[in-house]
Amino acid sequence: MLMTSERAGNGNRPRLRYIVAGISVALMVGLLILLGWGLQNTNAPQPEAGMAPTFSLTSFDGETLALEELRGKVVVINFWASWCIPCRAEADELEAMSRKYRDDVVFIGVDYADTEKGALKFIEEYGLTYFQGPDLGTRISADYRIRGVPETFYVAKNGELRGVKIGPLSPGELEFKILELLDDR
Amino acid sequence: MIAEIGFVALSAAFVLAVYATASSAWGGYHERPAWVQSARSAVLLIAGLLTVAVGTLVYSLQQSDFSIAYIAENTDLAMPSYLRLTALWGGQAGSLLFWAWLMSCFVAAVMLGKWEQDRDLMPYFITVATLTTGFFIGVTVFISNPFARLWLPPGTDQLTVAFFPPAGAMLYSVPDGNGLNPLLRHFGMIFHPPTTYLGFTGFVVPYAFAMSALISGRARDDQWIRTSRRWTLVAWGFLSVGLLLGGRWAYDVLGWGGFWGWDPVENAMLLPWLTGTAFLHSVMITERRGMLKLWSVLLIVLTYSLALFGTFITRSGVISSVHAFGKTALGPAFFIFIGITFLGTMALMIKRLDLMKSDHEMESFLSREAAFLLQNVVFLAITFVVFLGTVFPLISEMVTGDKVTVGPPYFKATAGPLFGVLLLLMGVAPMIAWRKQVAARLGNRLMAPVLVSAVVAVFWGYTYESPWVAYPVLWLVVFATLAVLMEFWKGISARMSQGENPVAAFTTLVSLNRRRYGGYFVHLAVIMIGLGFIGEAFFMKQTQGTLAQGESLQIAGYAVRFDTLRQYIGADGRQVTEADTSVLRDGELLATLQPRQDFFSEHGQRVTAPDAYATLGGDVYVILIGWEDIGMGGSTFKVYYNPMITWTWLGSFVLLAGTLVAMWPQRAGRSHRSYVLNPVTPGPKLDAGGAA
């Protein structure tokens, strides 16, 4: 398009010039509308309290899990991706905790903006056994307004959101939070 | 009192910016030089006033004047004074002031430079440049004021932030501030934001020249493109270094992961860099052959617009990112500003299309010109895919209601191969003749480097157990390197045949052709920088394990041994957990590394600080990720072997050196005009008060 406009200038072909000008202006106005619309919908910060946004997630093995069916259990939702380096640092801790609290806490790994191949390799590499599924269309990530990966959300037994950790989990932090939520009646 | 001085200076600078915009436009339109001279003085005064404003804020930061809201929000008493200085750009209001100040300094530098060459462009240059600078100053005066104070209105315990005291309110000073975001408490904070800002704000100069050439109808003259090229190089150099420093910072503080994460804000910095690089190449064709004028103007305008776009998405919170400043009141003002800028620029370009005709048509598709054009197209293609990936969440949400974010896999798959094409062109283009190249002769020239690089690449790949996909990439790297070195050798050997010794031949060669050989240095630097990315993509190794004291992890022929662990409280109250580890090879101790984790209890934030043993072959990069009771059970480490990453950091020095060489003015008296350049007729002298 841009090259055409140069030729249009060279050849003094007014019609082509109007077409090029029209398309350019339309694209520019389109971009401005997009940005203006985006500004209207500017992201609020992550939700930290209130009811956790519900979702259902289909795992890499084809099983489906819905958050509202997990009432009565503590839920840890971890957003991650195979390309994310800090996610690697916390992977072992998440797996260890998911095994330790298998009966009382449900761990959900939400794979964000990733390739299936990369994700499966990551899961295999760290021997992750808890529920893992791709966030198709990044819908869940959008509902939780994540800013990047890793991010970890804690959901209490009654379905309320009880905090978010942006960035990799620190040692002991996860267990501390789990114990706090398990005590919760 | 000091803050009041700062605010008065800031307000005066705003008034002067409005005045300079109007008087330069008036003077330019009615050809009244006195008005333009007066606008020029105003520009210099603006830079001086903003220097005062920045100075007062820096002073107040150092004094920890916690009655100023910005200082209470972004610093605390425990911060060392260098970090207190960096708080100038660590928060929204301060960074905008800093931005406006840098921009005003660039514009003032143009005013102080030689006017003769671009005299006719100066009126509208001042109009455009002060309009932009004025916007940023206005934002700090009216929306995000760094000098606003904390007030306690009567009968409430809610603090109000305002510059002018609300009725009956008492000035309130908090005992201690919030402190800088822990992730920003790093030496990288000293260099990365200022260099990046210098890059972004510097682009205003070529943009204002381009706009002025279009407004005044002098876009046919080539002199302004020459001036713009040098200023673009300045901004481009700063932006390049800023990008690399950001990468280095991310590498040193694990929280952001790796050294390039394709985060929207990183992309926003990359976009103007890409178009700026394309411009630095297309401008050579414009200067030498009088071609691609519209294209060059478009690239200048695009570069500046993308810099503004990047600033907008960072500041408005439109696209979520780890770097974003969060939701602020700036969004609407910024939106109106970029809307006016984009539409105005576009209207002007369309109106002046006829001015930018090429002097020559392309003679052959096998010519240096064609290679440059292809290179430009590839740069724009990368710009397009990166831009699309960055705004895709917005587009998808607007169209389908679902926000779809694309991650690094998308960017690697789309931009990666295009960067490969650029490497190939980087090697081939300098061997192609201007105007027309005979194919057979080019084939002969390419034969040796193609074959030699193929042999080296196979050997290299085989030695490092490379995956097969990496072989073509390795070949490209070796080929491009050889091609650049051959260019140097060609020049040096020609001089040596006239009896110069090699060192003298090299220095004379470079100093006589600074732009060309400076450019080649930059090419070498880009290849060096690329090595780190290639290492990460194809050769990175990693391992992880929980170690008792004295146990080791093995990686890439190295052993990393856990020696001891300690905990202490740092100067600014952070709780530090630090491990001593030893890097050994064949039992020989090479280095002691101290990876650590800092916990900032008041922010509830933990920052991981890895440590690395760096060699040219690769870094042993150790992260402490977990521990049990001190010295008892064991600590968990993650160890990476990051091949060739040191080349990336070394490349940044070569890039800086190359940019300086290319930028350095050639001795006066040497003419660079080629036979096709339109002679520039200097405008009548514009003495103070004289007639134009």
Q: Does A148 touch chain B (CB under 8 A)?
A: yes
* Smallest Cα distance from A158 to chain B, Å: 25
Nearest C-alpha in A relative to B324: A147
- Is residue B352 situated within a structural domain? no
What pLDDT does residue B680 have? 40
Of the listed ranges B146-150, B413-417, B680-684, the one predicted with least confidence = B680-684
Q: Is B15 part of any domain?
A: yes
Whether residue B348 is contained in a domain is answered as: no
Q: Do B346 and A113 touch (CB under 8 A)?
A: no
Within 8 A of B384 by CB-CB distance, chain A residues are none
**CB within 8 Å of chain A, chain B residues 549-608:** 597, 599, 605-606, 608
Q: Would you say A57 and A108 are in contact if contact means Cβ atoms under 8 Å apart?
A: yes
A112 with A138: CB under 8 angstroms? yes
Which of B:476-495 have CB within 8 Å of A? Answer: none
Q: Is B397 on the interface with A (CB under 8 A)?
A: yes
| Burial tier of B171 (Cβ tally within 10 Å: 0-12, 13-18, 19+) | exposed
Asked whether residue B421 carries a pLDDT value surpassing 90, the answer given is: yes
Contact B510, B648 (CB under 8 A): no
Residues of A in contact with B410 (CB under 8 A): 113
Most confident option among B184-193, B504-513, B580-589, B606-615: B580-589
Question: Which chain A residues contact residue B331 at CB under 8 A?
Answer: 39, 42
User: Domain total for chain B?
Assistant: 2
Distance CA A109, CA A129 (A): 10
Average pLDDT over residues B252-271: 79
pLDDT bucket at B328, cuts 50 / 70 / 90? low
Mean pLDDT of B627-640: 75
The neighbouring-strand residues paired with A32 are none
Asked if B394's CB is within 8 angstroms of A115's CB, the reply is no
Give me the residues of B, 376-395, that contact A with CB < 8 A: 380, 391, 393-395
- Give dist(CA B534, CA B480) in Å, integer: 14
For an interface test with B, give the residue of A1, A16, A83, A110 to mutate (most B CBs within 10 A). A83
CA distance B591 to B585: 10
For B74, the token pair is 């972004």
The pLDDT assigned to B644 comes to: 92
A interface test, pick of B313, B320, B357 with most A CB neighbours within 10 Å: B320
Name the residue with tokens 């990369």.
A118
Is beta strand A131-134 parallel, antiparallel or unpaired with respect to A105-111?
Answer: parallel
Q: Which two tokens stand for residue B390?
A: 């960055």
**Closest CB to B357 among A10, A145, A167:** A10
Tokens of A150: 């890793």
Q: Where do we find the tokens 């890059």?
A: B199
**B231 located within any domain:** no
Tens-digit pLDDT profile for residues B21-71: 999 999 999 988 899 999 999 999 999 999 999 999 999 999 999 999 999
Token digits of residue B508? 């004379």
Choose one of B607, B631, B646: the last residue of a domain: B646
Note whether A40 contacts B: Cβ–Cβ < 8 A: no
A-chain residues near B408 (CB < 8 A): 81, 83, 113
Q: Which amino acid is at B337?
A: F
Using the Cβ of A139 and the Cβ atoms of chain B, whether some distance falls under 8 Å is answered with: yes
DSSP B73: H
**pLDDT for the residue A2:** 40
Q: Is A103 left (phi over 0), alpha (psi -120 to 50) or beta?
A: alpha
Per-residue confidence band for B312, with pLDDT thresholds at 50, 70 and 90: confident
Per-residue confidence band for B321, with pLDDT thresholds at 50, 70 and 90 = low
B interface mutation test: which of A1, A33, A138, A176 has the most B CBs within 10 A? A138
Residues in chain A within 8 Å Cβ distance of B398: 34, 37-38
Q: Is the pLDDT of residue B396 over 80?
A: yes
For residue A57, how far is the Cα from the chain centroid?
Answer: 12
Locate tokens 């890499």: which residue?
Answer: A60
**Residues of A with Cβ-Cβ distance to B326 under 8 angstroms:** 45
Domain boundary at B154, B185, B216, which? B185
Q: Which residue has the tokens 């006589």?
A: B512
The pair of structure tokens assigned to B501 is: 């010794």
Residue of B627, B483, B487 whose CA lies nearest to B546: B627
CA dihedral of B21, B27, B28, B32, whole degrees rounded to 10: -160
CATH of the domain at B605: 2.60.98
Which of B326, B357, B397 has the CB atom closest to A45's CB atom? B326
pLDDT at B355: 72
Q: Within a domain: residue B655?
A: no
CB interface of A with B, residues 55-84, below 8 Å: 81, 83-84
Element housing B611 (H / E): strand B611-614
Could you tell me if residue B234 is inside a domain? no
C-alpha to C-alpha distances, B625 to B178, B592, B632, B635, nearest whole angstrom: 27, 18, 16, 8
Q: Is A13 an 8 Å CB contact of chain B?
A: no
- Chain A neighbors of B606, CB-CB under 8 A: 167-168, 170, 173
Question: By the 8 A CB rule, do B620 and B555 touch?
Answer: yes
d(CA B157, CA B344): 48
Please report the beta strands in chain A, taking only residues with DSSP state E, as ranges in sequence order.
56-58, 64-66, 74-80, 105-111, 131-134, 151-155, 161-166
Q: Is residue B263 part of a domain?
A: no
- From chain B, the residues in CB contact with A28 under 8 A are 342-343, 346
Structure tokens at B563: 């020696």
User: In this complex, which of B316, B407, B627 lies closest to A42 when CB atoms are compared?
Assistant: B316
Does residue B510 register a pLDDT over 70? Answer: yes
Return the pLDDT at A8.
41
Of residues B383 and B317, the one with the higher pLDDT is B383
Say if the Cβ atoms of A171 and B258 lie within 8 Å: no
Residue B81: CB atoms within 10 Å: 10
Confidence band of B8 (pLDDT split at 50, 70, 90): very high
Q: What is the pLDDT of residue A146?
A: 83
Q: What residues make up the domain containing B142?
A: 1-185
Q: Does A179 touch chain B (CB under 8 A)?
A: no
Contact A38 B394 (CB under 8 A): yes
Residues of B in contact with A3 (CB under 8 A): 295
Q: How far is CA B170 from CA B60, B61, B67, B212, B527, in A?
A: 20, 21, 11, 49, 60
Instruction: State mean pLDDT over B233-238.
Output: 94
Picking from B166, B185, B204, the residue at the C-terminal end of a domain is B185
Q: Which of B416, B196, B145 is nearest to B323 (CA)?
A: B196
CB contact under 8 A, A137 and B605: no
Residue B398 in any domain: the answer is no
Contact list, A176 vs chain B (CB under 8 Å): none
CB atoms within 10 A of CB B231: 23
Distance CA B271, CA B303 (A): 8
Across the range B686-690, mean pLDDT stands at 37
The fraction of chain B above a pLDDT of 70, given in percent, is 92
Which member of A41, A114, A167 has the closest CB to residue B407? A114
Across the interface, whether the CB atoms of A42 and B317 are under 8 A apart is answered yes
Q: pTM for this one?
A: 0.85
Partner B contacted by A120 (CB < 8 A): no
* Nearest alpha-carbon partner for B567 in B647, B631, B511: B631
- Return the bridge partners of B552, or none: B561
Which alpha helices (H) appear in B90-222, and where do they start and end? 92-112, 122-142, 188-202, 204-216
Q: SS3 for B174?
A: coil
What is residue B261's predicted lDDT score, i.e. its pLDDT? 81
Q: What are phi and psi of B161, to 5 degrees?
A: -100, 120
Say which residues have a Cβ less than 8 Å from residue A60's Cβ, sequence separation at least 6: A116, A119, A120, A123, A132, A133, A134
Cβ–Cβ contact A47 with B under 8 A:
no
**Which residues 6+ apart lie within 8 Å of B560 measured at CB?**
B552, B553, B554, B581, B582, B583, B584, B593, B620, B622, B637, B639
Residue B190's pLDDT is 87
Closest CA to A75 of A149, A177, A185: A177
A114:B608 CB<8 A: no
Confidence check: pLDDT of B669 > 60: no
CB B368 within 8 A of CB B432: yes
What pLDDT does B114 receive? 67
Q: What is the pLDDT of residues B92-115, one digit of tens each?
A: 899 999 999 999 999 999 998 766
Exposed e or buried b per residue across B594-604, where buried means at least 16 C-beta atoms within 10 angstroms of its C-beta? bbbbbbbeeee
The least confident of B218-227, B259-268, B360-369, B668-677 is: B668-677
Among residues B418, B427, B531, B542, which one has the least CA distance to residue B470? B531
Q: Tell me, what's the pLDDT at B225? A: 82
**Residue B174 CA from chain centroid, whole number:** 36
Omega of the bond leading into B166 within 30 degrees of 0 (cis): no
CB B303 within 8 A of CB B272: yes
The mean predicted confidence, pLDDT, of chain B is 86
pLDDT at B691 over 50: no
pLDDT tens for B458-505 read 998 888 888 888 899 999 999 999 999 998 998 899 888 888 888 998
For chain A, what is the radius of gyration of the CA atoms? 23
**Poorest-confidence range of B22-31, B369-378, B386-395, B397-406?**
B397-406
**B436: which 2 tokens?**
């027309």
Contacts of B192 (CB under 8 A, 6+ apart): B242, B245, B246, B249
**B23 contacts B161 by C-beta, under 8 angstroms:** no
Nearest to B390 by CA among B415, B417, B423: B415
Residue carrying structure tokens 């009141």:
B329
- Give the rounded percent of residues in chain B with a pLDDT score beyond 90: 45
Tell me how many residue pairs between chain A and chain B have CB atoms under 8 A apart. 158
CB–CB of B317 and A88 under 8 A? no
Provide the token pair at B338: 């970029």
User: In tens digits, what is the pLDDT along chain A, a chain of 185 residues?
Assistant: 344 444 444 445 667 778 888 888 898 899 888 888 888 776 555 666 788 999 999 999 888 999 989 988 999 999 999 888 778 888 988 999 999 999 889 999 999 888 888 899 999 989 999 999 998 877 888 888 887 788 999 999 999 998 888 778 877 788 888 998 988 76
Inform me whether the C-beta atom of residue A167 falls under 8 Å from chain B C-beta atoms.
yes
What mean pLDDT is predicted for residues B120-149? 94
- The pLDDT tens digits for B571-592 are 777 889 999 999 999 999 999 9
Contact status of A140 with chain B (Cβ, < 8 Å): no
Q: How many residues can be counted in chain B?
A: 692
A138, A140, B70, B296, B405 from A114: Cα distances, Å: 10, 14, 39, 37, 10
pLDDT value of position B275: 96
Q: Is B29 on the interface with A (CB under 8 A)?
A: no
> What's the pLDDT at B562?
93
User: CB–CB of B257/A84 below 8 Å?
Assistant: yes
Give the long-range contacts of residues B514-519, CB within 8 A, separation 24 or more.
B514/B661, B514/B662, B514/B664, B514/B666, B515/B662, B517/B488, B517/B491, B517/B661, B518/B658, B518/B659, B518/B660, B518/B661, B518/B662, B518/B663, B518/B664, B519/B658, B519/B662
B343 contacts A28? CB cut-off 8 A: yes
